[in-house]
Structure 1
Amino acid sequence: MFTMVQLQFPTTGKAKKEILDQLQDLRGQDANWRDGRTWSLVYYGGEDISDLTRQAYQLFSQENGLNPGAFPSLRQMETEVVSMTADLLGGGGETVGNMTSGGTESILMAVKTARDYARAIRPEIRQPEMVLPVTAHPAFSKAAAYFDIKAVYIPLTEEYLADISMTKELINANTILLVGSAPAYPHGVMDPIEEMASIAIDHQIPFHVDACLGGFMLPFLKKIGEPVPDFDFRVPGVTSISADLHKYGYASKGASVVLYREDAYRQHQFYVRSDWPGGLFASPTMAGTRPGGAIAAAWAVLNYLGQDGYSRLADSTLQITRRLKEALAAIPGLHILGNPQMSVFAVGSEELNLYAVADELESKGWHMDRQHLPPSLHFMVTQAHRESVDAFIHDVQKAIEAVTGHPEAYSEGSTAMYGMVGSLPDKSLAHGFMRDYLSSMTRKH
């Protein structure tokens, strides 16, 4: 049980310098992403990009995207960001979309749109279902919980792909949406998008492609000659796409785009109310107030880099990724899971306690992402890792030596937590523990 310690509201204000110094001190405790010691969360394209996005964000930090009539600048920039993204992802003149606060909101909007579309054209459905791979982002299961939709999960093949034969069997008269990932976060593997889209056409259901990770990387890998299969609106049957600007689009957090093949379908995304005493209310996405800074920063970085800049970043990021993957795969006991096609991948092992290895690496200043089912370590590569790969590989080898030499020393931290969850016959029993953990994160104790 966590006890709340009451923090009193300040009676008097502090000097600006004191506040800024305190912020710098707090920041010093955070994960070190600038030096490439963090393998998730921050997508760093270089200091020139970061400096641009900071300045663009600051220029519009007080503007509000809630009312485009009051801030036509934000309306223009959002429209242009959506249009440029649609062009990148194979959209045509009918393609429409909106900016959101991130991939989760984009996914929530896509699922809500599919549900309300089904309500309009298939009112006989009482319990809507959504068919998606088990590797699809948890934002989809969150959307299912929020919008009262049953999530039906597609098992994976040995290569961590959505099993096409099972996909066909899981679709029924209640299915309102099929989902695929390009790529899926856990292993960086692309689902068989073209085959899934064909199934969606056969069953006359919408198909959403989650390209939050790959939307601003895969097109440029393809441009430089990598064998990337079509995954976007170039594929018949793809109805909607989510793509995060604040991942490999290198924009400030939080910025994403949700796109629809046509406006008649997107209409089901909107919320409107005409009988509110406060006036006529219309909202395109989940959020009401939307920070103008995020819109301006996204617009700025797209125009700053252009296709040439993004292609250059994609090429150099791919080279760093290959160097890291080859070095990790050369370490006895480690292997890459599946066939990842870009700069996100996972490393597994049948011999080593990877959670203990991760704990040892974190003691050396690396921020590690852990996964399970199966146990693995997750990697997201950016420019920040160019100079850190060799040091990381050295520390991995030392961490493995430490763990294999003294396994009894690793009984706490993530090793204990993931071990506990892995031993439970019913994984839902871990939900209470996870809720308590979340609650503790925002308490002063």
Structure 2
Amino acid sequence: MPLHNHKANLDDLFTVESMTKPLNVHRISRKERNPEAVYQMIHDELLLDGNSRQNMATFCSTWLEREVQDLMQECMDKNMIDKDEYPQTAEIEARCVSMLANLWNAKECPGSENGTCKPAIGCSTTGSSEAAMLGGMALKWNWRARQKAAGKPSDKPNLVCGPVQVCWHKFARYWDIELRELPMHEGNYMSSPEDVIAHCDENTIGVVQTLGTTFTGHYEPIEEVHAALDKLQQETGLNIPMHIDAASGGFVAPFMQPEIKWDFRLPRVKSINSSGHKFGLAPLGCGWVVWATEDDLPEDLIFRVNYLGGQMPTFALNFSRPGGEVIAQYYNLLRLGHEGYVKVQEACFAAAEYFAAGLDQFGLFEFLNNSSKGLPLVCWKFKDDSKPPFSLYQLSDALRERGWLIPTYTLPPNCEEIPVQRIVVRHGTSVDLLYLLLKDFKEVIEELTQTPPCGKDKQRASFNHS
């Protein structure tokens, strides 16, 4: 057995070849390299990224308990799709679906084994975007079946929605569906029942309502839209189902606003998607979709494979994916329970209220949402009568120099001329952290007022979901 080169092993890390000259990082090298040196090089490059805890734009989890990190490490080699090889991981996924179906008030089916009741059905996904697309696909397939049964054409489907995240634009384009996204109205930044009904017809595969919009954090008027669709059916015979995009609100409303009817308590709600990696507190890469009953997920969308050992149904867009995120979601559901989730979300709302009160003291801003209208999110614009010598974009730039990512963006049509800012207050965003953010706000505003930047009116898209 050859001896190792002890001299090379004793060299200082920053003197080895991989660290002393520029590397061609756009082609695979012909030779292998020192693993410590490669790790250090990549580690140092990642220092140039922003600090995720100071990213106030994201809805995603940026703080995780140590136990979650340990479980993720232990599941790194487990493939979620390989249910025959990892039956306990598959069982845990099914438990999570059952918990979420119960949380979202799906009908209990103790007699489902004899066919007297169809239970809820669902699955994990790589995120809420995939989950939303699965819900949309089911709407289209069911609508097409209804059209065929009625002897009507099915070549011009449309989907009616309020201001939605970009995944719905992708869904409509990829699956050849007309997206009827309702325009915003200044002062009312979500859809209305009247607008929804005005855009529905026999080719509408469904209506999407958002529980916590990306732009302003509002809950759309889901129960009111449901009632308007009931009235539409009475008048025209059109029976239009609903899908709820609860990417953020699905793990907030049940704990903080349980009186709001948005879920399977409403008969037209056939499916719900949510992000486990947002207010569900799981790490990135975790989404969920649940259908009210088995009948709401068309059999034609389910594939059965046996080449991983055993018959396995699958209806996700992705195939192989890690199981750790699902295990981490299960950990949070068990560890926190209803009481724990209430405490976490209460802390988020309290921190958001603290920040909104501090921001209000500057006298410059008007709130579109001060966390009282949906998610623990604060969204604001300049007051109409305030005339600061700088723009919101320049305010974002100055805060970014201090490490904070505060998104500035324009709203969808017909409010695209309104630039706004927002922060998302999520688990781990402490009052102390927001105190420091307000302190930087104060100092930056003073600096920009004393030394106004050039090109105040210049605008650019620093944040855009559509």
Give TM-score scaled by structure 1 length.
0.84
Offset at 1:279? 11
2:126 paired residue among 89, 96, 101: 101
Offset at 1:334? 0.5
Q: In 2, are the aligned partners of 1:336 and 1:345 still within 8 Å (CA)? A: yes
1:210 aligns with 2:245: yes
1 CA distance for matches of 2:66 and 2:42? 19
The CA RMSD measured in Å over matched residues stands at 2.8
Q: In 2, are the aligned partners of 1:109 and 1:269 still within 8 Å (CA)? A: no
Residue of structure 1 in register with 2:172 after alignment: 144
1:308 aligns with 2:339: yes
Task: After TM superposition, list the pairs within 5 Å mapping 1:51-62 onto structure 2.
Answer: 51-62=66-77
2 CA distance for matches of 1:42 and 1:137? 12
Offset at 1:256? 0.9
Q: In 2, are the aligned partners of 1:194 and 1:231 still within 8 Å (CA)? A: yes
Task: After TM superposition, list the pairs within 5 Å mapping 1:362-441 onto structure 2.
Answer: 362-372=400-410, 373=416, 374-382=418-426, 383-409=428-454, 416-418=459-461
Residue of structure 1 in register with 2:96 after alignment: 81
1:154 paired residue among 177, 182, 185: 182
Task: After TM superposition, list the pairs within 5 Å mapping 1:122-133 onto structure 2.
Answer: 122-123=147-148, 124-133=153-162
2:79 paired residue among 40, 44, 64: 64
1:342 paired residue among 350, 354, 375: 375
Residue of structure 2 in register with 1:330 after alignment: 361
1 CA distance for matches of 2:327 and 2:41? 28
Offset at 1:174? 0.9
Q: In 2, are the aligned partners of 1:155 and 1:163 still within 8 Å (CA)? A: no
Residue of structure 1 in register with 2:398 after alignment: 360
Residue of structure 2 in register with 1:317 after alignment: 348
Q: Deviations over 1:43-80 (max 9, x none)?
A: 4475xx43122111111111112231222012101101
Residue of structure 2 in register with 1:40 after alignment: 57
**SS at 2:429 equivalent:** helix
Rg: which structure is higher? 2
Offset at 1:357? 0.7
Q: Deviations over 1:151-178 (max 9, x none)?
A: 0022334231312211111101111110
Q: In 1, are the aligned partners of 2:393 and 2:460 still within 8 Å (CA)? A: no
2 CA distance for matches of 1:106 and 1:269? 17
**SS at 1:378 equivalent:** strand
From the superposition, tell whether residues 152 and 44 of structure 1 become closer, same or farther in structure 2 (CA, over 3 Å).
closer
- Unpaired runs of 5+ residues, structure 1, are 422-429, 435-445
From the superposition, tell whether residues 13 and 165 of structure 1 become closer, same or farther in structure 2 (CA, over 3 Å).
same
Offset at 1:397? 2.4
Residue of structure 1 in register with 2:112 after alignment: none
**SS at 1:358 equivalent:** helix
Residue of structure 2 in register with 1:171 after alignment: 200
**Identity within the alignment, %:** 22
Give TM-score scaled by structure 2 length.
0.80
Q: Deviations over 1:208-252 (max 9, x none)?
A: 1111111112211136xxxx5222112232111111110011111
Could you tell which deviates more after superposition, 19-28 or 109-118? 19-28
- Unpaired runs of 5+ residues, structure 2, are 1-23, 109-118, 411-415
Residue of structure 1 in register with 2:287 after alignment: 256
